[in-house]
Amino acid sequence: MDDRVAATLREDPTMAALIDRHGPLDVAPADDEFARLCTSIVNQQLSTASAAAIHERFVDALGGDPTPDRVLAADEAALREAGLSATKVEYLRNVADAFRDGERDLTREGLADLSDAAVVDRLTEIRGVGEWTARMYLIFALGREDVLPLGDLAVRKGIERIYNDGEELSRAEMREIGEAWRPYRSYGTRYVWTEYES
């Protein structure tokens, strides 16, 4: 995390305390965008602990890190045994098809000129990639620095706990809190997650 990011986030005293507690956190693009998107699909609607276990079994079932070819060639029964629902297996295959499609370039280079909103539109054309998954892709696969994924339950709960003693806040109120972190809301989001999970 560079000085500009830290200086911006520290203008919010609550965030400054989180930075002191958790040290520097980074928002860096993933080495492999496809593998990262698979992780987000596996993680949909799961707790952190069960997601990690299922992801490990998923990689074992593929016989290595996820690639479009491995996902498409994988035995459906083996993927189901790894703990994936039939729906998630279908979503993973849809994503693999999209990455193999010569018409669509979903890599960082291919999406570099698109705004965050346009990337979300492009990704959500794939059945199985919703708004939440697309925003995780922006942060974790593309390393985009100004994403506030309020569709994420842990982000909402975290903001309520950190900023409002656990009392409910509207999304508009949460967006207002996140305004202070612009243009580095992805970093603010990482601190909220880290605090929420600690």
pLDDT in tens, 8-60: 999 999 999 999 999 999 999 999 999 999 999 998 888 778 989 999 999 99
pLDDT band with cut points at 50, 70 and 90 for residue 156: very high
Instruction: Give yes or no for a cis peptide into 13 (omega within 30° of 0).
Output: no
Q: Helix, strand, or coil here: 105?
A: coil
Task: Specify the pTM.
Answer: 0.90
Average confidence (pLDDT) over 175-188: 98
Question: What are 44-51's contacts with CB under 8 Å, separation 24+?
Answer: 44/88, 44/130, 44/132, 44/133, 48/197, 50/83
Angle (CA) 167-171-176 rounded to 5° is 95
Q: Mind listing the pLDDT tens digit for each residue in 66-104?
A: 999 999 999 999 999 999 999 999 999 999 999 998 888
The C-alpha atoms of residue 9 and residue 7 are separated, in whole angstroms, by 6
Q: What is the DSSP letter of 108?
A: H
